[in-house]
């Protein structure tokens, strides 16, 4: 039985489709805390330019990195910088369950910490950079609930309009958002890449907008 989500306080929903890109996984063995901090500092410097998520910390420091399609050379340059400063470096040019299992096993072997990362809220796939993110917020913008969805599920539940796409994702979610299907969705300006809807009950006035 799916867990029913409280949506009474939901007044806004953001639908954010992430840009496509290349994903790579970097594994670095740090001999001590100083080297671990050096690795973290290197990736931290890149955060303004790339999407970065740390997978593990401790003796095994690992990161997932996502770049635009035209930034493939950046992945190679990053590998070269790591290899010139650290003895053990692995680059895997994609993210999948196999590489994540390797990271998990190496963490267990080295006493490192495996950090939590998102999972698709439909199929459960581990996904450091979800293709689509949905945030449900109250009137003041505070997040009440959120959903993260992988590329396969995003494609599987594509729809004619943004509203239909949003509802199809939430309907397939492992949690129960069915009460939202009775609400009005009013498209509003967001000023960002994300698509924003204002939520009203059917008893309230206004027109439901489906794009």
| pLDDT tens by residue, 123-135 | 999 999 999 999 9
Domain boundaries, the chain: 3-18+130-200, 22-114
Question: Where does 84-186 have alpha helices with state H?
Answer: 97-110, 151-156, 162-172
162 vs 4: CA distance, rounded Å:
23
For residue 2, what pLDDT is reported?
Answer: 73
* Model confidence pLDDT, tens digit, residues 37-93: 999 999 999 988 899 999 999 999 999 999 987 778 889 999 999 999 998 999 999
CA distance to 20, 30, 54, 82, 98, per residue, from 76 (Å)? 19, 20, 18, 10, 21
Q: Which of 150-154, 178-182, 189-193 has the lowest mean pLDDT?
A: 189-193
**DSSP β-ladder status, 184-188 and 3-4:** unpaired
155-183 mean pLDDT: 92
For residue 43, what pLDDT is reported?
Answer: 94
Q: What is the Rg, in whole angstroms, of the alpha carbon atoms belonging to the chain? A: 20
**Residue-by-residue DSSP string for 164-182:** HHHHHHHHHSSEE-GGGGG
Q: Which of 5-9, 86-90, 177-181 has the lowest mean pLDDT?
A: 5-9
For residue 202, what pLDDT is reported?
Answer: 62
For residue 41, what pLDDT is reported?
Answer: 92
For residue 51, what pLDDT is reported?
Answer: 93
Give the CATH number of domain 22-114; options: 3.30.70, 3.30.2320, 2.60.98, 2.30.30: 3.30.70
65 vs 20: CA distance, rounded Å:
13
Q: Which of 16-20, 42-46, 160-164 has the lowest mean pLDDT?
A: 16-20
For residue 208, what pLDDT is reported?
Answer: 39
């Amino acid at each position: 039985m799916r867990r029913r989500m409280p949506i009474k306080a939901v007044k806004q929903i953001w639908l954010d489709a992430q840009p496509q890109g290349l994903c790579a996984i970097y594994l670095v063995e740090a001999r001590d805390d100083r080297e671990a901090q050096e690795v973290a500092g290197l990736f931290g410097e890149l955060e303004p330019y790339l999407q970065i998520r740390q997978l593990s910390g401790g003796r095994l420091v690992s990161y997932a990195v996502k770049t635009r399609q035209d930034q493939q050379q950046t992945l190679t340059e990053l590998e070269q910088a790591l290899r010139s400063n650290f003895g053990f470096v692995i680059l895997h040019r994609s993210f999948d369950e196999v590489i994540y299992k390797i990271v998990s096993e190496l963490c267990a072997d080295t006493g490192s910490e495996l950090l939590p990362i998102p999972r698709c809220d439909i199929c459960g796939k581990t996904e450091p950079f979800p293709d689509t993110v949905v945030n449900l917020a109250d009137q003041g913008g505070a997040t009440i609930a959120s959903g993260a969805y992988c590329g396969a599920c995003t494609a599987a539940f594509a729809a004619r309009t943004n509203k239909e796409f949003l509802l199809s994702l939430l309907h397939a979610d492992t949690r129960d958002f069915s009460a939202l299907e009775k609400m009005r969705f009013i498209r509003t300006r967001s000023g960002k890449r994300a698509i924003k809807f204002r939520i009203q009950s059917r008893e309230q006035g206004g027109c439901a907008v489906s794009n």
